[in-house]
Each structure stands twice: as C-alpha cells, then as structure tokens.
Copies of this chain bind each other. A is one copy, B any other.
Amino acid sequence: MDIIFVEEQMNTSKVKKFLIGEPFPTSMAIHERLDKVRALAVFASDPISSNAYATEAVMSILIVMGSGALNMTMPIVMAIAALVLIVVFSYIQTIMHYPKGGGSYIVAKDNLGTLPSLIAAGALLTDYSLTVSVSVSAGIRAIVSAFPEIYDYRVLLALGTIALLTWMNLRGVRESGSIFALPTYAFIGGVILVIVIGLIRSFGLFGAAPLVPQTISTELLTEDLTQLGMIWILLRAFAAGCTALTGIEAISDGVQAFKPPESKNAAQTMVTMGIIAMSLFIGISYLSTHLNLIPTHHDSLLSQLTRTVVGEGFLYYWVQIFTMLILVLAANTGYQDFPRLGYFLARDKFMPRWMTNQGDRLVFNGGILTLATVSSVIIIIFHADEFAMLPLYAIGVMLSFTISQAGMVKLMTKVSKLKPDESMDTLETHLHHEKGWQWKRVVNAVGATTTAIVFLVLVVTKFVEGAWIVVLLIPLIIMMFYKIRGHYNNVSGWLSTRTIVENEISEVADVVILPIGDVHRGTVRALQYAQRLSTDVRAVYVSTDNALKERFLKRWQKFPSLTKNVNLVGIDYDYRDFLTPLIEYIEEVNNIEFPDCTITVVIPEIVTDNLATSILHNKTAFLLRQRLRKYLDIIIIEIPFHILPPPKKADHKFTGVADKIPDSPIESQNNAKDVDEKPATD
C-alpha cells in the first residue's frame, strides 16, 4: 500500500553522552579526519617509540660475544634502517594506488587472491593485538620501576590502561589525535636534542666540552663459537632490532583517516615518519657505540646515553617521562589499525558483521572492544611481562609486508600492460598508465624479497622462545575466517528471496498454551489476552509442592468467570526444574496434536522498573523463551505486567500488602511464595 518516508532527529541517553560524547551524524564523517600533524602523532608513535629499546635489543644480543662485538652494532642498525627505507618507499606506492586505504589485506585480495589476503590479515590481527599488550606492559613496567610497591598490581594497572585507551578511542579519532600529539612530539624533540648535543660535544664543535668515550675491552669471546654460531648471533641481533619496523604499514591502511587529498597527505606523513624514525635510530645507535656504552639490566641504553650527554638534569627527566608515555601511546596504533582491518574483513564476511557498525562517534566500536578483550587476555596470560611476549611480536608484520609488496609487484605488472590514456578497474582501485613502473616494480620486488628473508630469520631465530605460537595461531585464525564466511553464506542461502515459498509460516492452529504459576493480575492479563486469540486456551501448571498446588487450585476456582473457557493442565513433578515438563508438554502439543501447524505460547512476564529490582525475580519467562526459540513452529507472545513504584496516594487498583502474619497454614509454610513467581510469571 503506502510508502511514506520521514526524517528523524537525534535523541540519546545522558549517561552515554557523558561517557562517549555527543553523537556525530553520519553526514559528518568526512570532517572527522586527521590533519598531518595529528596523523603523524597517531600513526607514528608505534615505530618511533621502538627507539626506546631497538638499539639496546641489538646490543644485548651482540654482547654475548664480548664487548668487542659491539662494533657490529652500526652495520646491523644500518641494515635495519635500509630495510625501513625500502619498506617506506614500497608502501608509498601502495598509498598512491589505493587512495581508499590499501592495507596488506586489501592489496593482497586485489592482486593475489583470497588465501594470501587472509594470511596477511591473520598475521596483522595477531600483531596489532600484541602491539597493545606489549606497549602497555612496557609502559607499566616503567611506572613499576619507579614505584616498586605497586608491582603486585601491574596486571590490574595494565588492564586499567587498556580500559582508558578503549574509552578514548570510543570517543573518536580526532580527540585521541590531540591527546597523543603531545607525548609523541615531546619524545621526538627530546631525543633529537640529545642526539644533536651529543654530536656537537663528541666532535667538540662550537667549543663545547668534548665527550670522552668510556674505555671498554675490545676482546671477542668467540673462541668456543663456530662461524655458524657467530652468524646465528648476528641474525638474532638483526631479528631483535626488527621490532623497529612494526607499525610502519599502518598509514597505508588508514589513508581514509587523512583529510583530503588523502593519498598525498598520507604519503608525505609516511616519508616524514620514516625519516624521523631512521634518524633517531641511527643517531642513538651511533652515539651509543661511539661513547662505548654497554647495555645493562637496571638502566636502559637511552637513559645512559641521555645522562652521559646532558647529565641528570631537566632534559634527562623529560626524555624518561615521555619515553614511558609514548610507549603506552604506541598501543594506540593498535586501536587505529585493528578496527579498520576488522571492518574490511567484516565487509567481506570474514569477521562478525557488527565490526562494520559505526558507533555514536563514527568509530568501529565492535573492533575497538574486540581488540580490548583480546589484548587484555594476552596481558593476563603473560602476566603483563612484555619480555615473554616479544618473541611473538613483529613476525606477523613481516609476513604481511611480504605479501603486500608481492601484491604490489603484481599490480605494477598490470600497470605495465596499460597503454597511455588506457585505464582499468580492479576490485579495490582504479589503474592508469604510468611512467617509471619499471623502477617502482623493482622497489616493491626488493621490498618483498627482503622482508620475506627477514620473516624467515625471525621465525627461525625466535621459534623456540614463542614464535611457534604465532606459527600455530595464524592458520587457526584463517580457519576462523573461513568458518565465519561459511556461516554467513549459509544464512544467505536460507534467507534468500529466491527460495521464498508461498506460505513461509504454516497454518496457525487454534490453540494457545499459557504457562501459569499463580493466579494474580499479571497472569489474569495474559489469560484475558489468550482468550482473544483462540477458543482452546490451555493454562499449564507445574506442581513441585503439594501445599502450593492446593493453594493454586483454590485460587483458580475463585475466578470462575475468568477460567470457565480455559483448560487447566496440571503436571506433577518431583524435581524443582519445572521448565522441563512444561517444554515437554508444549513439544507434545506441537508435534503430536498439531504436527503441521504453528502453535502459540503466551508468556506472562513481570517487568520491574529498574535493574536493581529485576535481580530480585526469577528469570523464568526469560529462560522459557530461550528454550522455546529453537522450535520452528512456535510463536512466542510476551504479556508484560509492570511493577511500578508504590503509589503515593491511595489507588483503587493497588493494595499495599501489610507485613501481616500469614493467616493460613499454607501461607505460613509458603510465606515467601505468597506472590507467586513460579512457572512463567517472571
């Protein structure tokens, strides 16, 4: 008949507004974007924060061969920096070709097919969750070092930090951008200052007091090491340093979070981030080795370096405090990346559909809450000990780098076949002829090969310490993706309109079953409604107590006008779980009496005015409904009866029941059951 469309204004609860903030309209989505300054803070805190420990990680492994081996630090650091450079340039290609966002998943899906894309996605989801757990645990460790008396509470503190991050991210990206800008830039500024002063003093420029390197022994403890053993240690040092690369790819996935022109802004931010991260890494490593610093357990390398260069003054505390803050904030990149990847996967039916739902503040609430749950579980399992988690970390990222860049090689091959003025559409992007595809393809190919090698190195060197968990987990995640997709396809099959039959609902039988526990206003209401629906109303009473049964029958017979058209079915049952015989009776009516019909069950339910009082009632109606839902041919009708607050003035409908002494032995025995809430009243 008619089709009317009206427009509706927003209306939300005050509590939600207070916690999450004013809801944003969908049309505002385009404005809820990041400028480059905020974007750098949001996306770069992960790779930049790794400077707090990356150099130290390399040196801690080299020192096994004696302090003389520390002169291998700079070559390894330069190799990692070169790797950063390769990855950054490779990803700039991705950003330019996927303006709607081209994370490894999208690129792989577009160029390599479903399975590679799911491998990349599984690897990344693992790594994003670990980013949160590792960074939060590391941040909490910094606080715990300062206040050892709270050591026992570190798991709770870590979980609290995750709760805080979750809350900030549910409020939306722009605000979290502002919150994160300060520590990121304060950390960058502080470390750059330390490096510059360090260099100036090292070379005695501008007449500064020169820094004198510590004297350390240069001996090598390599007598009992084979050449293979040495290579193994060098590879492990390299692998340890590779944590510096985690989070670098985030920008390519999040192009849509930038203000327009998205691709250009994202690419510029990517380059800036790469330059900053590399400069800090090389600067810290150069000065540390130049000054012959040695990693120790109780004092971090960055702390030693800062103290040596500028003493324990203001700048020292500045760097320490913001090291801690940027570590906790690095966790936030996980909150940017995980929900976004979850959205792409859910859009393709590989993750639960609710991951595509945007909340009041236009963020993916489902993904944010899932990430919070997963990383909390990791923190609980590993007891907030980030050293136990590190062997699992960075592997996923390398795997996804490899897949993504292999996809870009394929894409460039497609581009190479386009003539000038020719263009083509793929699933996710639009390609033109472009110049220089040859060297671009080489960049991507070099990137893919390098990261593949690094991936293998990571798996092999960290396998025993924990990498095996990731190797086992990723296939399980991929299986889950396929299971979810299978379920949605099954749902589509069942729901498809192509299969609609003439009568989706079988004939409705003239019978109504009404579970009843007592005769009171709530059940009378339901009885009256049931009699309007059918001529064959059956009130079903399950008796688990003889005294109660007699009392019920007396009350039932007190209202002949109400019950004269109703059949009362009584079931004697010697157990307390009265739902079971009730459902067996309903099943019997459904399957034997009316085998090809739909039958109707009317459930009276007491509804109280708030949550506090609702826990005072048995959840009988709820439980009955849950168990009846699995029957194909049963329609459930709820008849709510509302318990309002007691009326202030006398109300003819209300009788305040006195705390009277019960006046019959039955009532005395069953005082508590005076107002009955047995079968199906609430």
Report the separation of the CA atoms of residues A641 and B501 in the bound assembly, to the nearest whole angstrom. Answer: 14
Report B-chain residues with C-beta under 8 Å of the C-beta of A460.
none
Report B-chain residues with C-beta under 8 Å of the C-beta of A545.
26
- Please tell me if the beta carbons of A522 and B495 are within 8 angstroms of each other in the complex: yes
Stoichiometry, copies per complex: 2
Report B-chain residues with C-beta under 8 Å of the C-beta of A637.
635-638
Is A574 on the interface with B (CB-CB < 8 A)?
yes
Is A354 on the interface with B (CB-CB < 8 A)?
yes
Within 8 A of B (CB), among A536-560: 542-545, 553, 555-556, 558-559
Report B-chain residues with C-beta under 8 Å of the C-beta of A569.
4, 6
Chain A interface residue number, banded: 35 or more
Nearest CB of B to A19, in Å = 14
Return the contact of A672 from the options B349, B632, B635 (Cβ within 8 A): B349
Report B-chain residues with C-beta under 8 Å of the C-beta of A575.
10, 23-26, 360
- Please tell me if the beta carbons of B630 and A642 are within 8 angstroms of each other in the complex: yes
Report the separation of the CA atoms of residues A642 and B598 in the bound assembly, to the nearest whole angstrom. Answer: 14
Which one of A51-59, A255-263, A273-281, A482-490 is at the B interface? A482-490
**Bitwise interface map of A from 649 to 664 toward B, beta carbon under 8 Å scored 1, else 0:** 0001111110101000
Contact (A638, B636) CB under 8 Å given A360-B575, A613-B487: yes
- Which 6 A-B pairs give the minimum distances between C-beta atoms? A5-B570, A504-B525, A495-B520, A8-B581, A25-B574, A492-B657
Per DSSP, chain A at the interface is mixed
Is A192 on the interface with B (CB-CB < 8 A)?
no
- Please tell me if the beta carbons of A491 and B618 are within 8 angstroms of each other in the complex: no
In the complex, which residue of chain B has the Cβ closest to the Cβ of A380?
B156
Is A666 on the interface with B (CB-CB < 8 A)?
no
Within 8 A of B (CB), among A329-388: 346-349, 352-354, 356-360, 383
In the complex, which residue of chain B has the Cβ closest to the Cβ of A151?
B152
Is A213 on the interface with B (CB-CB < 8 A)?
no
- Please tell me if the beta carbons of B639 and A568 are within 8 angstroms of each other in the complex: no
- Please tell me if the beta carbons of A1 and B487 are within 8 angstroms of each other in the complex: no
- Please tell me if the beta carbons of B491 and A504 are within 8 angstroms of each other in the complex: no
Report B-chain residues with C-beta under 8 Å of the C-beta of A576.
26, 357-360
Is A643 on the interface with B (CB-CB < 8 A)?
yes
**Bitwise interface map of A from 521 to 542 toward B, beta carbon under 8 Å scored 1, else 0:** 1101100110010000000001
Report B-chain residues with C-beta under 8 Å of the C-beta of A532.
508
Report the separation of the CA atoms of residues A653 and B673 in the bound assembly, to the nearest whole angstrom. Answer: 49
Nearest CB of B to A643, in Å = 5
9 pairs across A/B with beta carbons < 8 Å? A8-B571, A8-B580, A26-B545, A152-B383, A356-B673, A494-B644, A499-B652, A607-B629, A625-B638
Nearest CB of B to A625, in Å = 8
Report B-chain residues with C-beta under 8 Å of the C-beta of A484.
616
Report B-chain residues with C-beta under 8 Å of the C-beta of A488.
616, 675
- Please tell me if the beta carbons of B6 and A505 are within 8 angstroms of each other in the complex: no
In the complex, which residue of chain B has the Cβ closest to the Cβ of A609?
B630
Report B-chain residues with C-beta under 8 Å of the C-beta of A12.
577, 580
Is A566 on the interface with B (CB-CB < 8 A)?
yes
Nearest CB of B to A558, in Å = 7
Contact (A655, B493) CB under 8 Å given A353-B677, A616-B352: yes
- Please tell me if the beta carbons of B558 and A529 are within 8 angstroms of each other in the complex: no
Report B-chain residues with C-beta under 8 Å of the C-beta of A501.
653
- Please tell me if the beta carbons of B358 and A3 are within 8 angstroms of each other in the complex: no
Given A427-B661, A491-B643, A495-B521, 20 new contacts (CB under 8 A): A3-B556, A5-B571, A6-B571, A7-B571, A8-B573, A8-B581, A10-B574, A12-B580, A23-B575, A26-B575, A356-B672, A356-B673, A360-B576, A508-B529, A605-B629, A607-B629, A609-B630, A631-B640, A637-B637, A637-B638
Report the separation of the CA atoms of residues A566 and B111 in the bound assembly, to the nearest whole angstrom. Answer: 47
Is A226 on the interface with B (CB-CB < 8 A)?
no
Within 8 A of B (CB), among A218-270: none
- Please tell me if the beta carbons of A529 and B505 are within 8 angstroms of each other in the complex: yes
- Please tell me if the beta carbons of B675 and A491 are within 8 angstroms of each other in the complex: yes
Is A646 on the interface with B (CB-CB < 8 A)?
yes
